[in-house]
Chain A
C-alpha cells in the first residue's frame, strides 16, 4: 500500500524537491507550509511519515513535532527533521521534541529516500 509522507517546509523549492524525490520512490506526498499548517494537514491526512523543516514562520519544526507527539494518534509516527544545521545542539533539541531522525540539507534524493525507508515500518 502506498505510504503517505507529509512534508512541512516554508520553502516551495524544498517542498518541490521533496515531492520529486519521494514521488519517484513511490510515496504519496502531502504538503504543509509551516508548523501550524502541518498540524492541520496531519489531522486531515494521517500520514505514515513526516518530514519537517525547522526554521518556519508561525510555528517552527520543534513546536510542530511537540504538538504532534502530544497527540496519541501521532506519537508513534516517525518524524525526520530537515536541517542545514548539522550541529549537535539542533539535533539534540529536535530529539527532545520527539524527532525520529534527521536529514541534513542539501540532501541527495537517494539519501533522503534512504532515511525515510529507515524509519518507515
Chain B
C-alpha cells in the first residue's frame, strides 16, 4: 500500500471501479434478458454515477466526460422519459465496454481508448438521450444546464496539517467565481446585511449564531438584533422565528463572499446586502426583500435595537470568539457570559452535541472481509506445508519406535493428524476464490467475438461461485478466453445457416464451473455444428500428423485438434489468429496439472471439459522406487499400473523397448535410466510398470522398481531452491525426512522419444 493516502484512495477508486463495472455489466445483462425492473435501471445509473463521481475527484476528465453522457441517458431511462428497450440496452452494453476502456486507460493499465469507438458511442448515447432527431449540437446547452463541471481535487490541501483553525476565511470563493465580481471592487467600505430567518431555516438545523460567526470571519462586525416581533413567553412558539438581524461588516470582503455565507439558507430567509456607505434605511432594505407581511418592516422602524457584542453572542451559542475562531475544537459547554442580550432565538443548542458519542465505540460500518497481502498467505501456506511434513515424520518415528497406535502417544498423534489436515484445508481455503472474477470478463469477450464474426451469440454461465486456488484462477483466464473464441469462431454457425438447420438464429455458448472429485471442472459448450470429423482427419493426414490409413475412433479424431500445428480454420480469422492453437491451450492447462478433453455431436455442438486441481500447493502422488531413489509420480497422469510379462516387451529397431498394452504398443521408459540413476539397460525382473498419459494424450509405460503407495505431498519448487532439472517437475519431503523428486511425466516421455525413430505414437497406437 502506498504511503500517500491520496494514492491509496486512488487505488481504492480503481478497485471500486472494477466492482462497479462488473455490477454494471451484470445489471445490463439482466436488462438484456428482458427485465424492466426499475431497481436494476437505478443500479446501473448509480454505478455509472459513482464512477463519474470518483473520476471527477481525481480529475480524470476523459472518463468523467464519457461517464457523464452515459449517466445522462441512464437518468432519462430511470425517470421513464425514454424507454429501456432492447436496442438501447445493446448500446448500453457496448457503452459499458468503452467505459471499462476509459477506466483502464485512466488507470494506466490499458491501451488508450479507441477515440473513434468512444466518440461513436457518445453520439449513440446522446442520440438516445435527446431523441434520434436532435442533432448533438442542440443537446449541448442542456448539458450545460446540468451544471456539472469537473474540478480537479487540490492535492496540496490534503497535506495541510490539521489546519482548520488557521484557515483563511473562505479563501477561494472569489477565485472560483466564474465572472469577475464587480461588487468586489465596491466592497472597500464594507457591507450592511439585513437578515430575517424563516422558521424553515431552523427546521433544517441551520442556526443564526453560526451564520453570524461566519460573517465575523470576513471582518469586524457590529450586530443589531430587532426583537420587537418577539411575543410574550407564554405565547412563544419555539419553532417560530421572530427576530431580525442587522449586521455591519467592515473590511474588504466582496458581496459574493458575504452572500456565500448565506447560500445554504438563502431560500429560508429574507436577506439584503448593501454597501455600508449607502444611506438606504433599514426598513427600505428589508421591504425590498420581504415577500410578505410588511408590518415587520415598520416594526423594525420601532425597533428597540440593542447593540450586541458579537464575541459575547458567539460565546452564548457555544462558539469561540472572533479573535480565535477554532470551531472544530471549540468546547461546546463554554460558560455563557452575563447575559448581554435577550436570549438568542435560535433553537436550544442541539441536544446531540451534549449527548456526546461514546468515543470508544467502534465504527458501525465494520467490514466483513479483510485484505491481506498475498505474500503473508503464501508464507502461512508454506509453514503449514512444513507442518504437514513434520507431522508425517513424527508419525513415522512413532511407528518405528514400536509404540502401539492405541498408546497415548499414538492416539495423540492421530488427533494431531486430523488437526493438521483441517489446518491445511482451512489455509488452502484462504487462497481459494470464486471463478466469478474470470467469468465476469467473458460476456464482453463474447460480445466482441460475436460482433467480429457477425454471429448472434448468447452466453450462459453457471457455477460462478465455485472456488479454486487464486493461482489457478489467474491462469484460467487465457485458456477459457481462447476456447470461448474458438467456440464462437469455429463452433457456432452464422444466423442463416442456423435457421436453415432448424436452430434459433442466436447460438448459445455455455460456460460452467463445478467441483468434481476434488478437482474443478470447467465446461465450455456450444450448440453449433460440432466437429467436422472427415475434415479434421483430412487435415491431420495432410499435415502428416497421422497416417492416411490410420483407423481412429470418433473420440480420437476429435482430440486431434489438440495436436501441435493443427488448426481447422482454412483462413486465418481475426479471432483465432495463427499460432495460438488448441495445443497451446492444452499445454497451459496441463502446466496447471489439468486435463482437457472434447466431446462433440455433429450438428448439435461441442463440449470442452477442463479438469484442474483445486490447488497447486499439494499434489496427489504415487510414491515409487527406482534404483534406490524414491520418486513421486503425479497421480493424475497415471492410467493404471501392472507387472509386465517379458513376452510383452518388444524392441523397435532392436533398440527402443515398447510394451504391448491392450492390443497397442506404448513406448517403455526406464525411469532409473532416463533419470541417470543407473547406466545399464533395463532390468525387467521384479519391475513394475505405470501406464501414464502425457499432456498430448499419448501413452507411455514408466518402468520402476516398486510402487510404495499413494500419498498427498506438499510441492516444493526445485527451481527456487536449486535449479531446473530435466524430467523433474518439483520436489517434496517425505515422512522419513528424505527429499523425493516429483516426476515431470511429459519431459520424461519426450526425453525418451527424442531418441526414438520419428514415428508418431498415434501410428503405433493404432
Residues of chain A whose beta carbon lies under 8 Å from any beta carbon of chain B: 1-4, 10-17, 20-21, 24-33, 37, 40-41, 44-48, 55-57, 69, 73-79, 84-87, 92, 95, 98-102, 105-111, 113-114, 117-121
Contacts and interface: CB of A to CB of B under 8 A. Distances in A.
Nearest to A110: B157
Contact of A1 (B45, B171, B356, B365): B356
Contacts of B16: 11-13
A56 B46 CA distance: 7
Given A48-B352, A74-B352, A41 B206 contact: no
A45 B357 CA distance: 6
B264 A84 contact: no
Given A10-B50, A120-B328, A76 B351 contact: yes
A121 B210 contact: yes
Contact of B54 (A11, A78, A92): A11
A73 B264 contact: no
Nearest to A109: B157
Contacts of B49: 55, 84
Contacts of A69: 203
Contact of A105 (B57, B329, B353): B57
Category for how many chain B residues contact A: 35 or more
B364 A27 contact: no
6 contacts: A37-B365, A46-B355, A48-B353, A57-B46, A106-B152, A118-B210
Contacts of A114: 167, 170
Given A10-B50, A108-B153, A102 B357 contact: no
Nearest to B6: A20
Contacts of A117: 164, 327-328
B328 A110 contact: no
B401 interface: no
Interface stretch (B89-97, B141-149, B415-423, B612-620): B141-149
Contacts of B147: 85-87
A106 B204 contact: no
B603 to A, nearest CB: 46
A121 B53 contact: no
A111 to B, nearest CB: 7
A59 to B, nearest CB: 12
B137 to A, nearest CB: 22
Contacts of A30: 363-365
Given A77-B350, A109-B154, A110-B167, A121 B363 contact: no
A41 B365 contact: yes
B205 A1 contact: no
A2 B344 CA distance: 25
A102 B163 CA distance: 22
B357 A120 contact: no
A46 B145 contact: no
B151 interface: yes
Given A24-B162, A41-B365, A118-B210, A76 B350 contact: yes
A11 B636 CA distance: 46
A56 B16 CA distance: 15
Contacts of B42: 57
B347 A76 contact: yes
A78 B16 CA distance: 29
B270 to A, nearest CB: 16
Contacts of B210: 118-121
Given A21-B158, A79-B205, A100-B264, A12 B164 contact: no
Interface in B227-272: 261, 263-264, 267-268
Contact of A55 (B45, B163, B349, B356): B45
B216 to A, nearest CB: 12
Contacts of A76: 205, 347, 350-352
B3 to A, nearest CB: 13
Contact of A13 (B5, B54, B160): B54
Interface in B112-170: 145-148, 150-154, 157-158, 160-164, 167, 170
Contacts of B317: 121
B53 A106 contact: yes
Interface string B603-628: 00000000000000000000000000
Given A46-B352, A55-B49, A78-B206, A28 B359 contact: yes
A1 B46 contact: no
Interface in B326-377: 327-329, 331-332, 347, 349-353, 355-357, 359, 361, 363-365
What 3 A-B pairs come out closest when comparing CB atoms?
Answer: A101-B264, A106-B56, A106-B57
A118 B264 contact: yes
A117 B52 CA distance: 27
A110 B57 contact: no
Nearest to B59: A106
A17 B9 contact: yes
Nearest to B355: A46
Contacts of B727: none
B275 interface: no
Given A46-B355, A78-B206, A117-B327, A1 B53 contact: no
B577 to A, nearest CB: 38
Contact of B203 (A15, A98, A109, A121): A98
B158 A78 contact: no
B394 interface: no
Given A20-B9, A78-B206, A108 B167 contact: no
B153 A105 contact: no
B353 A121 contact: yes
Nearest to A97: B204
Contacts of A26: 162, 164, 328-329
B697 interface: no
Contacts of B150: 106
Contacts of A109: 153-154, 157-158, 160
A33 B16 CA distance: 14
A118 to B, nearest CB: 6
A1 B357 CA distance: 10
A73 B332 contact: no
B530 interface: no
B365 A16 contact: no
A55 B44 CA distance: 11
Contacts of B761: none
B13 interface: yes
Q: Which of B171, B357, B359 has the most CB of A within 10 A?
A: B357
A120 B145 CA distance: 31
Nearest to A91: B267
Nearest to B13: A13
Nearest to A33: B365
A23 to B, nearest CB: 9
A14 B46 CA distance: 13
Given A27-B328, A73-B351, A44 B361 contact: yes
B9 to A, nearest CB: 5
Contacts of A79: 204-205
